[in-house]
Structure 1
Amino acid sequence: MTHPSTLTSNLTPQEIEALEDLSHREDIVIKPADKGSAIVVMDKPQYVQECLRQLQNTDFYTKLAVPIFTDSIPRIQQTVQKLLEEGNLHKKQADYLIGEQIPRSRRFYILPKIHKPRDTWPTPNMPPGRLTVSDCGSESYRIAEFIDFYLNPLSTKHKSYIKDTYDFVEKIKKEQIPPQSFLFSLDVDSLYTNIETPLGLQAIRNIFNKHPDPSRPDEALLNLLELSLTCNDFEFHGEYYLQTKGTAMGKKFAPAYANIYMAQWEETAFSKCSRLPHHYYRYLDDIWGIWDHSQQEFETFLQILNTHHKSIKIKSVTNDQTIDFLDTTVFKGPNFPVTHHLDLKVFFKETDTHALLHYRSHHPRHTFRGIDYVGLVFAFATEGRVGRSLARSFGGVSASPNLNLAS
């Protein structure tokens, strides 16, 4: 017997009515911002124009007369059947991967980059967008899960790996920094879409060879991965397109795939360098490091990285004292001349709305596991009274007694 919920909505009838009205508006598009947790309301014609601007880039996309995702279904079924016959899957797993529902086409959309300087926007009232393809319900959605199951553990095995902000903080706290060094951050331009598929597949094959596993169906995984990358068609505004280079955000395996590719890119690029960073950490396409050689030698290092693979381009920021990275500002504090340890404080982009889920909000309890505890700990440890007030607002979260980030 089920009992009716005693919870009541924390929205007023007027607010509910307004949300329903907005959801049925056809002249606007509402999306979350690419960064900062803001909600962006866009004029639909301008949103469509920005999407089409990106889709007209023939280096990455080509228009299709008809979708091709249905052609992938028998190829997937054949590979899954072979995995079943060879004992790599049991029947229930094979049925799950093939699926019973009729697949739908992938859907293209963009997340507005409102954090970009306004003078770089393609039109005055429309920011550039980060392309995303919704893979949910597609013919290869479950196959992408299967690929990620094997790639994800391998994607963490390189020396520069950072799991998240908390992991970065724990690493940096232990590092001693040469006094005359400077800090740098690097950003890979549009990493996902700039990974050339042959090079990406070779990186996966190489890591399979480096970490052999008799129970892992390497050839089947490579076949399914190639299928997912080369048959990544999608729908937008009633038209069909094929992504001809890289992989789009939305594929379950995309972060692990990009991480493995970048790990090989680093290894081969660094082999060309006579000087390397004193410290070097990477979170997907965001890189942080310490350089203890000359500025000219850093420029040479950067030039080697930018010419190593023609599709991978790096943007850099350097500073003698401070650098922003992920959710942190890393800096040489007043004690640095003595300790040679860096200090950290929380960093927010100008467009950040500081929107965290309130512990009294009308959500299922499991949802609260997604609260950014690291951000709250940063706030508590580095922002004094404001941080403590923020922590109390979100259910009494406080800093760990073993985590001292304050300078």
Structure 2
Amino acid sequence: MESVPRIERVVDSLERTGFICKRQANYLLGEVTPRRFYLLPKVHKPKKKWLNPFMPPGRPIVSDCGSESHRIAELIDFYLNPLSTRHSSYVRDTYDFLDKVKSLKVPPGAILFSLDVESLYTNIETPLGLKAVRDWFSRYPDASRPDEAILELLELNLTCNDFEFEGEFYLQIKGTAMGKRFAPAYANIYMAQWEETVFPKCEKTPLSYLRFLDDVWGVWSHNQQDFETFLGVLNAHHASIKVQAVVNEQAIEFLDTTVYKGPDFPSTGQLDFKMRVKETDTHALLHHQSFHPRHTFRGIVLSQLLRFRRICSREEDFQEARRTLFGALRARGYLATNQLSHTHFEMLHL
């Protein structure tokens, strides 16, 4: 593989300059095995998006495990990941999202929206992605970070990502693969750069704009026509980056929540939250007859109830989510609903 001697040269340079020790250098230069391409079925997608009644769409994965760049990708991620969170739209997880939105004051006629970036990982133009990382390095200098070496290793990972599929070998010529350790951080930095360059082009911008990788949630305080103009600017900014929008005046789904204008909204201007249950969710929790320690089953119930309590801002939404959970648990062989309620619901108030 042509990339092996180049990786060895960069790793040797990092060792000679003191950025890594001999033991770390030996770890980075691991075994060399072919990458494998496969698809992860997106069984959570609505049936209307399936290719046929028995075949859901697939998420393309190039398994990097055991390749010459597998451990190098870990090194790249070590340096990129801390930088990938340093932008104003960053969302870490559901609870971080809730914390950011709970205090938001929303005008009465505001529109709620979500955006989905189409096939983000595989649509990142490599020169633009490398430029975004270089710009982020310049913005946040760190003497303990070997910028040029990391950029060279990143470029190697992006341009030499060959893989095997059905006995044939292929080379990825665009974007980064799901399966690279650094892919989420790299995509996050790229999108942060994209946002910083596209927003100045927009005459009007969202009141709130939050992003978890390729999923965006926001509040639009202008009219619908202005939003369409805003969307047009986003989709014209980079040829390979396109977004699909969902707009609603009352409620919008994001991550595992539904954010909506509740009964108190007219007086408070604050949004409410409840559990989002996808239409393809079969509630296939671990069956109670499965051979697991007893505390595993108690933990499943308690963790779900705690999750519901943290997400649902209104008591009636929590109770509805709890009833759905207990119905699913009964079908999976758990205790009767009233026993579950007495055992675990009380624990939430300890």
**TM superposition score category, shorter chain reference:** 0.7 to 0.9
Alignment correspondent of 2:323: 386
Query: Retained in 2: the 8 A contact 1:345–1:378?
Result: no
Give RMSD over aligned pairs: 2.8
Alignment correspondent of 1:140: 69
Alignment correspondent of 2:269: 340
Please give the alpha-carbon distance, in whole angstroms, between the structure 2 residues aligned to 1:256 and 1:155.
5
TM-score (norm 1): 0.75
TM-score (norm 2): 0.86
Query: Retained in 2: the 8 A contact 1:231–1:242?
Result: yes
Deviation at 1:301, TM superposition (A): 0.4
1:10-48 CA-to-partner distances (Å, cap 9, x unmatched) read: xxxxxxxxxxxxxxxxxxxxxxxxxxxxxxxxxxxxxxx
The residue type equivalent to 1:170 in the other structure is D
Alpha-carbon spacing, 1:79–1:269, altered in 2? closer, same or farther (3 Å): same
2:283 counterpart SS class: coil
2:143 counterpart SS class: coil
Matches within 5 A, 1:211-230: 211-230=140-159
Please give the alpha-carbon distance, in whole angstroms, between the structure 1 residues aligned to 2:17 and 2:9.
12
Please give the alpha-carbon distance, in whole angstroms, between the structure 2 residues aligned to 1:121 and 1:388.
27
The residue type equivalent to 1:225 in the other structure is L
Alignment correspondent of 1:321: 250
The residue type equivalent to 1:96 in the other structure is Y
Alignment correspondent of 2:35: 106
Alignment correspondent of 1:294: 223
Please give the alpha-carbon distance, in whole angstroms, between the structure 1 residues aligned to 2:127 and 2:347.
46
**Worse-superposed segment, 114-123 or 127-136:** 114-123
Alignment correspondent of 1:83: 14
Please give the alpha-carbon distance, in whole angstroms, between the structure 2 residues aligned to 1:182 and 1:374.
33
Mind listing any 5+ residue stretches in structure 2 that lack a counterpart?
Answer: 330-336
Alpha-carbon spacing, 1:325–1:220, altered in 2? closer, same or farther (3 Å): same
Alpha-carbon spacing, 1:387–1:121, altered in 2? closer, same or farther (3 Å): closer
Alignment correspondent of 1:72: 3
Please give the alpha-carbon distance, in whole angstroms, between the structure 1 residues aligned to 2:292 and 2:234.
46
Deviation at 1:400, TM superposition (A): 6.6
The residue type equivalent to 2:263 in the other structure is P
> How many percent identity over aligned positions?
62
Alignment correspondent of 1:28: none
Higher helix proportion: 2
Alpha-carbon spacing, 1:134–1:181, altered in 2? closer, same or farther (3 Å): same
2:89 counterpart SS class: coil
The one of 238, 248, 258 equivalent to 2:177 is 248
Alignment correspondent of 1:163: 92
Mind listing any 5+ residue stretches in structure 1 that lack a counterpart?
Answer: 1-69, 403-407
Please give the alpha-carbon distance, in whole angstroms, between the structure 1 residues aligned to 2:346 and 2:80.
35
Query: Retained in 2: the 8 A contact 1:165–1:374?
Result: no
Matches within 5 A, 1:160-239: 160-239=89-168
Query: Retained in 2: the 8 A contact 1:107–1:133?
Result: yes
The residue type equivalent to 2:141 in the other structure is P
The residue type equivalent to 2:164 in the other structure is E
Q: Does 1:96 pair with 2:33?
A: no
The one of 254, 259, 262 equivalent to 2:188 is 259
Please give the alpha-carbon distance, in whole angstroms, between the structure 2 residues aligned to 1:310 and 1:303.
12
Alpha-carbon spacing, 1:77–1:115, altered in 2? closer, same or farther (3 Å): same
Deviation at 1:168, TM superposition (A): 0.7
Alpha-carbon spacing, 1:300–1:322, altered in 2? closer, same or farther (3 Å): same
Query: Retained in 2: the 8 A contact 1:276–1:301?
Result: yes
The residue type equivalent to 1:192 in the other structure is Y
Alpha-carbon spacing, 1:198–1:307, altered in 2? closer, same or farther (3 Å): same
Deviation at 1:363, TM superposition (A): 6.2
Deviation at 1:311, TM superposition (A): 0.2
Matches within 5 A, 1:269-288: 269-288=198-217
1:262-308 CA-to-partner distances (Å, cap 9, x unmatched) read: 00000100010110100010000000000000111101100000000
1:316 counterpart SS class: strand
1:324 counterpart SS class: strand
2:113 counterpart SS class: strand
Matches within 5 A, 1:370-381: 376-380=305-309, 381=312
1:104 counterpart SS class: coil
Query: Retained in 2: the 8 A contact 1:356–1:372?
Result: no
The residue type equivalent to 1:93 in the other structure is Q
Query: Paired residues, what number?
Result: 329
The residue type equivalent to 2:274 in the other structure is K
Query: Retained in 2: the 8 A contact 1:97–1:142?
Result: yes
Query: Retained in 2: the 8 A contact 1:379–1:388?
Result: no
